Amino acid sequence: MDRKIIAVVGATGAQGGGLARAILNDKDGGFALRAITRNPDSEKARALAAQGAEVVKADLDDPASLEAAFEGAYGAFCVTNFWEHFSGEKETAQGRSLARAAKKAGVKHAIWSTFEDTRDSIPLTDDRMPTLQGKYKVAHFDAKAEADAAFRELGVPTTFLYTSGYFENFIYFGWGPQKTPDGQLAMVFPLDDVKMPMIAVEDIGKCAYGIFKRGEEYIGRTVGVAGEHVSGAEMAAAVSEALGRKIGYQAVPADMYRGFGFPGADDVGNMFQFKRDFSTLYRGNRSLEESRSLNPELQTLKDWLKENAAAIPLPE
Ligand SMILES: NC(=O)c1ccc[n+]([C@@H]2O[C@H](COP(=O)([O-])OP(=O)(O)OC[C@H]3O[C@@H](n4cnc5c(N)ncnc54)[C@H](OP(=O)(O)O)[C@@H]3O)[C@@H](O)[C@H]2O)c1
């Protein structure tokens, strides 16, 4: 059988890795994996090769390498990693390079992992949150959104994929329980009582696979994916139960969160404020039903905690 090649950027990472595994696990699905990485010798790249992937070297900062890597592919999964460089301009440039490479290679279906442009909801002149890098409210959202136009203007057959915060952030991104000044454990977010869409990152890849399988009907569409819409109090209750520890929820002002001092705290603080203040829009863009129809194995927070709770770090 002639299988359709899907070139997956970020195949050694979280989002692309989920898609890579979905392709590899569905031997009769009609798709073949081309894993794109800067370093084909890495352990993760070798593991993909050992499972049957074609591994191709390319760099998002080297457009010619991307064009070569997309050549002959039916599909392309396009993702950028803001957290590696924290630069909105660089992220938009990488997104545009992906669009141009997809056009040059004539791919039949691209998925661009993007986000809302938060400036459509809260313009730069609105001082409810600070403007960052001179031109963004939420740089890692707005900069991706700026690259959407390249896919549209070049006529790349694209699905615009809105992702959600990963449950894995409880393990790797500092979203786990913190020790409060009174010595208690609490999940700390500037979300008040608002529910926030979240997802197991593996499910983003599985949903993306569902989109490639559906093909035509998803071209030109924007689709958001989430495993559950969950409030801070619900997160705390679920993590509490899973770990057998008393963990509360502490709602904090967005200004306080922006001042927490970790790299990118201002961007993440603005992001939470956007999700809180424009919750109807943000939640409305991420349908659980559609996510489940793309990926019937979609996990809720409780499902995810069954396998992963033990890895959530707790402060001493
Ligand atoms: N954390 C969250 O809750 C969350 C939620 C939604 C969306 N996001 C977005 O997810 C994005 C990151 O995706 P992820 O979590 O899947 O990343 P990740 O697990 O940190 O992995 C990054 C991947 O990107 C590849 N990559 C990075 N820079 C590259 C370059 N210059 N050229 C080629 N490949 C490059 C890496 O490949 P090699 O190292 O093998 O080259 C790696 O596979 C961010 O932009 C973030 O905004 C995050």
Q: Find the 286 Cα to ligand 1 centroid distance in Å.
A: 21
- As to burial, measured by CB atoms within 10 angstroms (0-12 exposed, 13-18 middle, 19+ buried), residue 17 is buried
Give percent of the chain with pLDDT exceeding 70: 100
The atom of ligand 1 lying closest to the CA of 173 is: 1
Q: Locate 191 and state its tokens.
A: 């979300």
Q: Is the CB of 38 under 6 A from ligand 1?
A: yes
Confidence tier at 2 by pLDDT (50, 70, 90): confident
Q: Find the 17 Cα to ligand 1 centroid distance in Å.
A: 10
Strand 228-230 relative to strand 196-199, pairing: antiparallel
- The pLDDT tens digits for 177-225 are 999 989 999 999 999 999 999 999 999 999 999 999 999 999 999 999 9
Q: Is the CB of 15 under 6 A from ligand 1?
A: yes
- The pLDDT tens digits for 61-76 are 999 999 999 999 999 9
Q: Is the CB of 81 under 6 A from ligand 1?
A: yes
Q: Find the 86 Cα to ligand 1 centroid distance in Å.
A: 12
Compute CA distances 302 → 94, 170, 192, 227, whole Å: 35, 13, 21, 10
Which protein residue's CA is at the shortest distance from atom 18 of ligand 1? 13
Mean pLDDT of 292-309: 98
Q: Locate 195 and state its tokens.
A: 């529910």
- The pLDDT tens digits for 141-188 are 999 999 999 999 999 999 999 999 999 999 999 999 999 989 999 999
The answer to whether residue 316 scores a pLDDT higher than 90 is no
The atom of ligand 1 lying closest to the CA of 9 is: 34
Which protein residue's CA is at the shortest distance from atom 48 of ligand 1? 165
Q: Find the 10 Cα to ligand 1 centroid distance in Å.
A: 6
In residues, how long is the chain?
A: 316
- The pLDDT tens digits for 36-51 are 999 999 999 999 999 9
Q: Locate 107 and state its tokens.
A: 């791919």
- The pLDDT tens digits for 98-139 are 999 999 999 999 999 999 999 999 999 999 999 999 999 999
**Per the confidence metrics, is the pTM higher than 0.85?**
yes
The dihedral sign for the CA sequence 28, 204, 18, 177 = negative
Q: Is the CB of 13 under 6 A from ligand 1?
A: yes
The answer to whether residue 1 scores a pLDDT higher than 70 is no
- Determine if residue 303 is left, alpha or beta; phi over 0 gives left, psi from -120 to 50 gives alpha, anything else beta: alpha
Compute CA distances 261 → 18, 30, 72, 81, 265, whole Å: 31, 47, 45, 21, 6
